[in-house]
Chains A and B, each alone.
Chain A
Amino acid sequence: MNIKFGLKKATIVLTAALLSVNMSAKAGAVYDYIKANNELMIATDANWAPFSYIDDDGVMQGFDVEVGREIAKRMGVEARFITPDWDVITAGNWNMRWDVSVGSMTPTASRSEVLNFPAVYYYTPAAFAVHTDSPVTTLAGLNGKTICTTAASTWEMYLQGNLDMLDAPAFTYDVTPGTITSLKDGSMCADDTRLGAGVRNDGFIDSVPMIQGAIEAGYPIRFLGDPAFHEPLSLATDLGNDDPELDAELARIIAEMQSDYSLSLLSIQHFKNADGSSEDYTVAY
């Protein structure tokens, strides 16, 4: 995040803007820059274990982070992580601050207006969780209740009834919440839910592995019913700096990681169930 670095990029953005009439970068500009600078800037969350988090030594860890490192390695460049807020990433218009999002982003129609989705790399179920003392036993029991979720997430879209996922398994809207509480991240929802059923919310929706982690950490919460829907999770690049060459390279690397099972291996390493078994989320439903 040094200034010199920013200036260099600014020059490229500026040059690109001057050269091309439609204000988008010349094809291949981002990928060329990555190669020239020998560095892949990866945007991801730092607040979403076990997908991505900061360990005790201040190093980024987690499934998404490992995938990001592997992509950079196969590209032949260094990986560097940057951790802006989730809604800043999904809003697009990155101005080349980072090159790719390896942050478990579900492709949706609305997001595809500002972002490209070069490769889906795994699939997770999303589920509702409630306090262990909650009287609610079925998903329908949450109708009209207060549900918490992460702002600008697919779970929020699900609660709002406007989840426009691309290439996703069919699903139904099983819950019609009375009030939606959208917070910065899912762990804040979990913190609210553990205060008691109906205290700040009646439950929250997040990815199954995240809820699993909270339960293991001793949170008094439980899964409610079956997963609400399954979402494909993809890499994302900036449509504003459209670079087919970069997208093709990312797609090639993910396909390669799927065929040599390195992606499955990472999933098994990171996603453990309470009974000690592991999950391979990289297989499509």
Chain B
Amino acid sequence: MFVDTVIEDKALHKPAFLIGLSLTVLAIFFALNFTNSLFGEFLRPVIGDPTESGFFGRFAVSLVLTIIFVLNLFAISFFKLKVQVAIVWLELFLLFLAFAYSFDLKMSFIQSRIPLMITRGLFTTIYISAISIVLATVIAIIGAIAKLSNNGFAYAISSFYTSLFRGLPLLLQLFLIYKGLPQLGFMVDAVPAAITALSLCYGAYMTEIFRAGIQSIPRGQWEASRALGFKFNLILRKIILPQAVPIIIPPTGNQFIAMLKDSSLASVLGVWELMYLARTLGQRDFRHMEMLLTAAMIYWALTIVLEVIQARIEEKYKQKS
């Protein structure tokens, strides 16, 4: 968003807002009732046994939490924007860690399974996603050009394709391919079936992104190219697509991130990717949360890597134009 040149007073520095906020937060904390959690334990010296502290205990816990919360916000409001962002990120991350910690995780269990999660699970996940991303991109380029063409067949096929594959749940497509193709005599194993489903589904979404990207290039670019005697293929390759790429990148990056996570659907076909192992490895010892949280962190880390790559590419195109 484009920031105005006039700075408004910070809402947090207005007494009325602070009081309203405090009361609202107090009501929320009171409703959620943290008396029986860790916070209640902290206040044991004041309220006695948390389970028997009743209304007073519940109110006291809520009040203390509210004061901490509001003071925290108030303090952060005095920092510069970048510092604010860093502090809030850190605090949210610590809250997430506390959430994970509350499951009484057995670290040695995680350590013993992580090598398999990475060598087998992460590898398979990346392998499936990477091939699917390449195929989906190819499909999307062809689909977008077909959708913009004057050829009736090309337009009909591509619009039917995008309509169908955007219209069906990915899991359903996966089953249609895995169970349906063998009936026609085309044997597909689990991994190729997953790659096919992901490529077709995301190819359909990306077809629309690419089409919109190509259409957003002003008509004048086509006319100037034609006036110079360029043929269609040349215009597309050298003039239109290079200009469409920076427009296409942010939504395409989103699709890549979504696809990375949707590759977990391959687990229903018994493919030993990250999600499958996360669900399975904790089974013998009935330690499911350990594996699920480990997989969560790996997926998150992967996504951050993709986000950084996307930001880099966007930056590169920004410098160029």
Q: Report A's interface with B, CB cutoff 8 A.
A: 1-3, 5-7, 9-10, 13-14, 17, 46-50, 53-58, 82-85, 88, 93, 95-97, 185, 187, 190-191, 213-214, 217-219
Known A46-B270, A56-B112; judge A187-B288 contact (CB<8 A).
Answer: yes
The distance from the CB of A148 to the nearest CB of chain B, in whole angstroms, is 15
Closest to A59 in B: B116
Please encode chain B, from 140 to 167, with 1 for each CB lying within 8 Å of some chain A CB and 0 for all others: 0000000000000000000000000000
The distance from the CB of B266 to the nearest CB of chain A, in whole angstroms, is 11
A85 touching B116, Cβ below 8 Å = no
Extra contacts besides A2-B189, A46-B276, A191-B286 (19): CB < 8 Å: A3-B189, A5-B189, A6-B192, A7-B187, A13-B185, A46-B283, A47-B279, A49-B283, A53-B283, A54-B272, A54-B277, A54-B281, A55-B284, A58-B272, A88-B268, A88-B269, A187-B283, A213-B284, A217-B285
The answer for the CA separation of A133 and B188 in the assembled complex, in Å, is 49
B190 touching A84, Cβ below 8 Å = yes
Q: Report B's interface with A, CB cutoff 8 A.
A: 112-113, 116, 119-120, 179, 182-183, 185-192, 268-272, 276-277, 279-281, 283-288
Closest to A53 in B: B284
B284 touching A96, Cβ below 8 Å = no
Q: Which residues of B contact A218 (CB under 8 A)?
A: 286
Known A56-B112, A95-B182; judge A82-B187 contact (CB<8 A).
Answer: no
B279 touching A96, Cβ below 8 Å = no
Closest to B191 in A: A1
Closest to A188 in B: B288
The answer for the CA separation of A237 and B256 in the assembled complex, in Å, is 40
The answer for the CA separation of A93 and B179 in the assembled complex, in Å, is 9
The answer for the CA separation of A55 and B279 in the assembled complex, in Å, is 13
Known A6-B188, A10-B186, A96-B187; judge A48-B179 contact (CB<8 A).
Answer: no
Query: 6 closest pairs, A vs B, by CB?
Result: A10-B187, A95-B182, A217-B286, A49-B284, A83-B270, A84-B270
Q: Which residues of A contact B183 (CB under 8 A)?
A: 95
A48 touching B288, Cβ below 8 Å = no
Closest to B185 in A: A14
Q: Which residues of B contact A14 (CB under 8 A)?
A: 185
The answer for the CA separation of A50 and B283 in the assembled complex, in Å, is 9
Q: Which residues of B contact A50 (CB under 8 A)?
A: 284
A1 touching B185, Cβ below 8 Å = no
The distance from the CB of B31 to the nearest CB of chain A, in whole angstroms, is 20
Can you report 15 A-B residue pairs in the complex whose CB atoms are below 8 A from each other?
A3-B192, A10-B182, A13-B185, A46-B270, A53-B280, A54-B272, A57-B116, A58-B119, A58-B120, A84-B269, A96-B187, A97-B187, A187-B288, A214-B286, A218-B286
A6 touching B189, Cβ below 8 Å = yes
The answer for the CA separation of A262 and B270 in the assembled complex, in Å, is 29
Q: Which residues of A contact B281 (CB under 8 A)?
A: 54
The answer for the CA separation of A191 and B287 in the assembled complex, in Å, is 10
A13 touching B192, Cβ below 8 Å = no
Q: Which residues of A contact B284 (CB under 8 A)?
A: 49-50, 53, 55, 213
The answer for the CA separation of A58 and B123 in the assembled complex, in Å, is 13
A97 touching B283, Cβ below 8 Å = no
The answer for the CA separation of A185 and B268 in the assembled complex, in Å, is 12
A213 touching B186, Cβ below 8 Å = no
The answer for the CA separation of A199 and B280 in the assembled complex, in Å, is 24
Q: Which residues of B contact A190 (CB under 8 A)?
A: 286
The answer for the CA separation of A55 and B120 in the assembled complex, in Å, is 13
Contact of A56 among B116, B186, B288 (CB under 8 A): B116
A10 touching B185, Cβ below 8 Å = yes
